[in-house]
Structures are given as structure tokens and as C-alpha cells.
Amino acid sequence: MTGTELPPLLLVGCGKMGGAMLAGWLERGLRDAVVVEPNPAAATTFAEKTRVVGAASEVPAGFRPSAVVLAIKPQEAQATLPSLSRFVAPGTVFLSIMAGQTVAGIRTGLGTGAVVVRAMPNTPAAVRQGFTVAYPAAEVSPAQRALADALLASVGEVAWVEDEALLDPVTAVSGGGPAYVFLLAEVMEAAAIEQGLPPDLARRMARATVAGSGALLASSAEDAAALRRAVTSPKGTTERALEVLMAPEAWPALMSRAIKAATARSRELAG
């Protein structure tokens, strides 16, 4: 694989995350791919750009993917993985973005010869601003890790960990993180309306504030606490609001509880 080429790929699942990743790969010049998606409407956007089939049994017999990307819901793993066992072959890596599904569990479904990389991307991948954390099983070769990294980097930033257990809190923080940010915009909009602002202005203001603050955070070398302090004038309006938000049982404690709950759920999904 060169810096601009992607080898043959099999994508299993073309929902929001799978579709976002496929769009990124097509932008990088992906030429040889098959998508397995039982819901035809989910893959309509890609039907003219790549081959789409409704089940793994419909993948052409001669197709030999270098990577099989598992983008199905974790609850579908037990029923789906055995149908993909015929793609277990030397040189093929299975890249899973299923929350909670461990390497051991995936190999139980595929067969013990499967080489697996687990990864947890997030939905900003749809605009190529995703953040993915990946874990390579012991059997993953340097070339397979490089391929997985290239696939994930097509939709944003990539980091690697050597402890699989860390993917549970990663799922809680990064995987679910966009929902927490969207909730922030949602409640800011509602609070603005409560204070008398017109709904259309409240929505524009809340969205632009969250998006602009995220862009500022991304471009700054300072940590988040320093940026927060820079906005907080002594005895000003922001300080008064933060006294509420940072009270002992407010945001810090609630976020800690939320991440703990999501981490526990990720572990539960492993069965």
C-alpha cells in the first residue's frame, strides 16, 4: 500500500459510522470494495460508487479483502460474525468498530485464526473530524496495523493503546462524547428561550457558540481550564454561571457519574 492507495476492503454495515468511513475511503481513491448492508436504503448513496450486497453470502466467491471492517451494532455480532469466517486468511485484518465487543469475543465468532484490531471512532468522522482510539491484538503485524491506521485516519485523528481494557472508558468519553456536546447545545438553546430570546436566535447562538468554542479549543495550545479562566472575568456574569455549573453536585460530579455509567455499559456489551 502506498500513501494514496487502499487495498480491497469489505465493509460490513453501512450505517452512519460505516457510511462516514466509506465516504472517507472513497475520497482517498478506494477502488475495490464490497459493502454488506441488509437495508438497501442505508447504502443508496454509495450504490453507484461501489458494490453493495444484502448479505455476506452474496459477496463474490473470488473477492479477497485485505481488511474486513465490522461496522455493525454490537448486538448483531453473534449472528453476523460466523457468516464472515470464510474471509479469515493470512494477511487479512478484521477492523472492528463495535462498542464493547472484545478481541476474544470477535475471534470466537470468526474463528481463532482471525487477526483483529479494535477501534472506537466517533461521529465527527462524518465531517472528517473524528477521533479514534485503536487497539491491536498481539497477532496484528506492522503492515496490518499501518493499514488499520490509514483507514481510520481517513476520517480524523487516530491514537493507539496497548491495553484493550482502556477501550471501555474511551467508548464512554470519545465514542459518546459528541452526544454530550450536542446536549450542551440543546440545553443552552432551551435556557436562552426561557430568558426571552426568540427560538431561531437561541438555536443559532447555541450552535455557533459550541462550534466556535470547539474550534478555538482545537487550535489552542492551552488546556481547557486555562481557556475557561480566560473567559471568566472576576465578579462577572460568567463567574456567576460557573458557580452554579461547578457546584459540588453539578457538572463535575455529573460528568464523572455519566462516564462511569457508560464505561460500565461498554463492559456489559462484551457479554
Domain positions in the chain are 9-167, 177-269
H or E stretch at 51: strand 51-53
Residue 33's Cβ-count burial label (10 Å; 0-12, 13-18, 19+) is buried
Class level of CATH domain 9-167: alpha beta
Distance CA(223)–CA(14), nearest Å, equals 36
Query: What count of Cα atoms within 13 Å lies in the side-chain half-sphere of residue 112?
Result: 0
Torsions phi, psi of 136, nearest 5? Answer: -95, 130
pLDDT in tens, 228-257: 999 999 999 999 999 999 999 999 999 999
Architecture of domain 177-269: Orthogonal Bundle (1.10)
pLDDT in tens, 46-67: 988 899 999 999 999 999 999 9
What predicted TM-score, i.e. pTM, was given to this entire model?
Answer: 0.90
Cell digits of residue 181: 456536546
List the alpha helices (DSSP H) in the chain.
Answer: 16-27, 77-80, 103-110, 142-153, 167-170, 177-194, 199-219, 224-231, 237-245, 251-269
Q: Which amino acid is at 219?
A: S
Rg (CA), the chain: 21
- Asked if the domains at 9-167 and 177-269 fall in one CATH topology, the answer is no
Percentage of the chain modeled with pLDDT above 90: 86
The CA angle 188-170-225, to the nearest 5 degrees, is: 50
Query: SS3 for 151?
Result: helix
Spell out the per-residue pLDDT of the chain, length 271, in tens: 445 579 999 999 999 899 999 999 998 889 899 999 998 888 888 988 899 999 999 999 999 999 999 999 999 999 999 999 999 999 999 999 999 899 999 999 999 999 999 999 999 998 899 999 999 999 999 999 999 999 999 999 999 999 999 999 999 999 999 999 999 999 999 999 999 999 999 999 999 999 999 999 999 999 999 999 999 999 999 999 999 999 999 999 999 999 999 999 999 887 6
